[in-house]
Amino acid sequence: MVLNYIWVSFFLIAFIVALIKLLFFGDLQVFTDIMNSTYDTARTGFEISLGLTGVLSLWLGVMKIGERGGMIEMFSRAVAPLFSKLFPEIPKNHPAAGSMLMNISANMLGLDNAATPFGLKAMLELQEINIKKEEASNPMIMFLVLNASGLTLIPVTVMVYRAQLGAANPADVFIPIMIATFMATLVGMIAVCLKQGINIFQRSIIGFILAMGGIIAGTILAFQSMPQEKINIVSSLAANIILFTIILLFIAKALKQKINIFDAFIDGAKDGFKTAVTIIPYLIAILVGIGVFRASGAMDFLMEGARNLVAFVGADTRWVDGLPTALMKPLSGSGARGMMIDTMKTFGADSFSGRLSSVLQGATDTTFYIVAVYYGAVNIKNSRYTVSYALLADLAGVIAAIFVAYLFFG
């Protein structure tokens, strides 16, 4: 229901802003730009879905091998002490736990192409135990908020763009991004736990928080002294070795169980194709709404209002230059990336604004894309409080990003 109101508001706000620009500023092009954006984003949504079809078919095929071979069940048992507390409504050793673990691990390693299929597989499995088929269950909400918080260990993409735009040390945003994204995940998880009546002081949950903090600290220490080129090589190599090793483990376990591996892959790939087709309308809908909002100039109005407000209260306005990236990230990953690049081109990659926009790009994830695609895959109509709590995690990431940017870059 929340997503419905947000989607409608994109169009209403866009119309009001466009009308103001036409009547008071004489902008004769604005409505043409809005309509062009609907065609462009609809095409983009279909192209994304088309590209996702192959990736989904591949990874859901691999997951089917792991499922029939028993590897997913082993993963589920491994995370049962934690997931039984964070997701108390999921039955013990249910395959959804293994799929969620794979998704979260892929996200942390920056493997977006693998993370989405694992996440969609988890949603399909969660839907099987969902009593109200058109309403998001508690485990779904927790899973999506954790996804939207965008926990990442190695923000390779951000560092690559900084290198291309002439940053003296492209990896100088590495530690701030890890701190900000960890805070977003922590706030999102605690908020949902409190909402769902989950005791956050249970040993396994505290242990998970401490373990994540330890992993982040260890990653920081390991990469801190490395040059940029080596960080990119080592992080990419490690991530892909881990991923390919998992595939081989799935195959080896299936061989041991005397499973027909090829048939299992084909069955999973068919599921991937069906899922990709299912999400097309949802993806196009959310992208068109965002495109209309952007094309109307509403984002520019919002930015200028924020800048004037900050200046009025006498606060430092430098962080406002990074705000377009923060505002765009929940709406569109490519849009936020474009905002980040534009900020670095305008102010310089090593400026405060350029570094802040980089940290903001890595601090959160594309909330509305995640909600639309994941819920669309299982035909969820009522997302309950998913969007509001995911945006709360995003807000925590943004605030943390601004704070650490001032702390590290002055």
Which stretch of 143-147, 215-219, 255-259 has the lowest confidence by average pLDDT? Answer: 215-219
Give residues with Cβ within 8 angstroms of 94, minimum separation 6: 76, 125, 129
Tell me the mean pLDDT in the region 132-136.
93
Given this model, what pLDDT does residue 288 score? Answer: 86
pLDDT above 70 coverage of the chain, percent: 94
Q: Read off the DSSP letter of residue 200.
A: T
Given this model, what pLDDT does residue 209 score? Answer: 86
For the chain, what is the mean pLDDT?
85
pLDDT tens-place string over residues 148-202:
887 776 676 787 778 878 888 787 887 888 888 888 999 999 999 999 999 999 9
**How many CB atoms are located within 10 Å of the residue 78 CB?**
13
5 pLDDT above the threshold of 70: yes
Q: Read off the DSSP letter of residue 129.
A: T
Tell me the mean pLDDT in the region 37-53.
83
Given this model, what pLDDT does residue 15 score? Answer: 95
List C-alpha distances in Å: 104 to 213, 254, 272, 280, 343: 15, 23, 19, 23, 30
Q: Using H for helix, E for strand and C for coil, what is the string for 218-263?
A: HHHHHHHCCCHHHHHHHHHHHHHHHHHHHHHHHHHHHHHCCCCHHH
Tell me if residue 205 falls in helix, strand or coil: helix
Given this model, what pLDDT does residue 242 score? Answer: 76
pLDDT band at 17 (very low <50, low <70, confident <90, very high): very high
Distance CA 355, CA 167 (A): 9
Which stretch of 81-90, 106-115, 139-148, 307-316 has the lowest confidence by average pLDDT? Answer: 106-115
pLDDT tens-place string over residues 228-253:
567 667 766 776 787 788 889 989 99
**Among 348, 304, 366, which Cα is nearest to 17's?**
304
1 pLDDT above the threshold of 60: no
Q: CA dihedral in degrees (9, 14, 20, 22; nearest 10)?
A: -150
pLDDT above 90 coverage of the chain, percent: 30
**How many CB atoms are located within 10 Å of the residue 350 CB?**
17
**Among 344, 272, 308, 263, which Cα is nearest to 121's?**
272
Helix (H) or strand (E) holding 150: none
Given this model, what pLDDT does residue 18 score? Answer: 94
Distance CA 80, CA 238 (A): 26
Tell me the mean pLDDT in the region 271-293.
83
Domain ranges across the chain = 2-409
Given this model, what pLDDT does residue 113 score? Answer: 63
49 pLDDT above the threshold of 80: no
206 pLDDT above the threshold of 70: yes
CA angle 360, 362, 364 (to 5 degrees): 75
Instruction: Estimate to the nearest angstrom the gap between the alpha carbon of 327 and the chain centroid.
Output: 14
Given this model, what pLDDT does residue 79 score? Answer: 75
End-to-end C-alpha distance for the chain, whole angstroms? 42
Tell me the mean pLDDT in the region 244-264.
90
List C-alpha distances in Å: 291 to 38, 46, 154, 286: 6, 14, 29, 9
380 pLDDT above the threshold of 70: yes
* pTM exceeds 0.85, yes or no: no
